[in-house]
Amino acid sequence: MKNTLGKWFYPITPKKSHHFVKKVMDSGFINEGELSKLLAKKIAKICNRRYATTVSSGSTGLVAALLALGVKKDDTVIVPSFSFIATANAVSLIGAKIHFIDIDLKTFCICEKELEKQLIKFKKKKIKISAVVTVEVNGRSPNYKKINNLSKKYNFPIITDSAEALGSKYYKKPLGSYGNLSVISLSPNKIITSAQGGIVLSNSKKLINKVEAIKKQGNHVRGDGGSDTYYMRGLNFKLSDVHSAIALGQINLIKQRLNNLSKINNAFEKYLPKKLFYFPKMLGGGKKLWVDCLVSDKKKACGFLDKNKISYRDFWVPMNLQKSYKKLNFRLKNTLKASKQGIWLASNFDIKAKDIKNLLKD
């Protein structure tokens, strides 16, 4: 019998993806084109956004979003400390200063109370905040009502790092719809993948035009490549139609995949030892991309999983403790606690709830 729990995660591309890829290859045009536009349009609809554009990755999408908002060298950007390293790298690579904020252990997302404390301190010191990047960790959401109020009060724009949130919601409103700009990732371990790729979304045509210009060397209008003129600086962050085709073939599977992940999450919660494993609730009715949990004893919990051949992955090392950012000297206790006690359990699309039941019910 196949052990579906033996691999933490892997991408699955259905026949529809293969069909779209073949269509692109046969067309003779494999650069960013109509399929990339179609992919952006479909994801914009899912996220309830007016405008969207494809980019080469979620990481370059964050860079483009920051630049589109005018963030520049030595500006201050607030970032939650619990995220994949790309969130911090996008800020630091354009020369901006990162200020890490602790998380709320109920959501693993930016703590609005800690955010407000820092905003008060910055105001006293007359330090302008150029942007706040929220991270929607594993389909979870911060308290956007309070964060939006802080945005209005202290006059800063919001970028939502929605890399792991496609298809999830916060009180019936799609994640990826909050803030001035949102960035979705389509990397191999996401709910749908284009191998590498991302989407930047906004309700502002002006901001999306800026992102388009940044990803096309400095002009949002494509020319003939020879006599083109450019009104700003940019790079090549485009996503090819080949990559977009891979993702397009999976669009209709998002709900099915997320619903199955909810079922396997419930099965893990039911059958794993409750003394070792704790499953934080999804506030606001969100959907997880992977099964996450906290453990009371990491060594014993991992030993139990190893014995039963259940794959898992540790939570991220806090960004403020990574070598590239450690010198900033931030001490954030909730982030550290989540990192030490958290794991993602096997969450690949082939797992069924009955697989977990059959393995662990005795």
Mean pLDDT over all residues of the chain? 95
| pLDDT tens by residue, 135-159 | 999 999 999 999 999 999 999 999 9
| pLDDT tens by residue, 302-328 | 999 999 999 999 999 999 999 999 877
Which tokens is 144 given? 């956007």
Place of tokens 């105001």: 123
Topology at the third CATH level for domain 4-8+253-360: Aspartate Aminotransferase, domain 1 (3.90.1150)
Among residues of the chain, what percentage have pLDDT more than 90? 92
97-101 and 76-80 beta bridge pairing: parallel
So where are the chain's domains? 4-8+253-360, 15-250
Which tokens is 185 given? 């990732």
Place of tokens 């792991």: 164
CA 36 from centroid of its chain's CA atoms = 19
User: What pLDDT was estimated at residue 158?
Assistant: 98
User: What pLDDT was estimated at residue 215?
Assistant: 96
**Given a cut of 60, is residue 1 above it in pLDDT?**
no
User: What pLDDT was estimated at residue 160?
Assistant: 98
Quickly list DSSP for 307-318.
HTT--EEEPPPP
Q: Are 64 and 161 in contact (CB under 8 A)?
A: no
Name the pLDDT band for 362 (thresholds 50, 70, 90).
Answer: low
**Lowest-pLDDT range, 90-94, 261-265, 329-333?**
329-333
Q: How far apart are CA 341 and CA 94, in angstroms?
A: 33
| pLDDT tens by residue, 248-288 | 999 999 999 999 999 999 999 999 999 999 999 999 989 99
| pLDDT tens by residue, 23-42 | 999 999 999 999 999 999 99
Helix or strand holding residue 291 (H, E):
strand 291-295
Average pLDDT over residues 292-300: 97
Q: What is the CATH number of domain 15-250?
A: 3.40.640.10
Beta bridge partners of 263: none
Place of tokens 């000297």: 329
- 3-class DSSP assignment, residue 78: strand
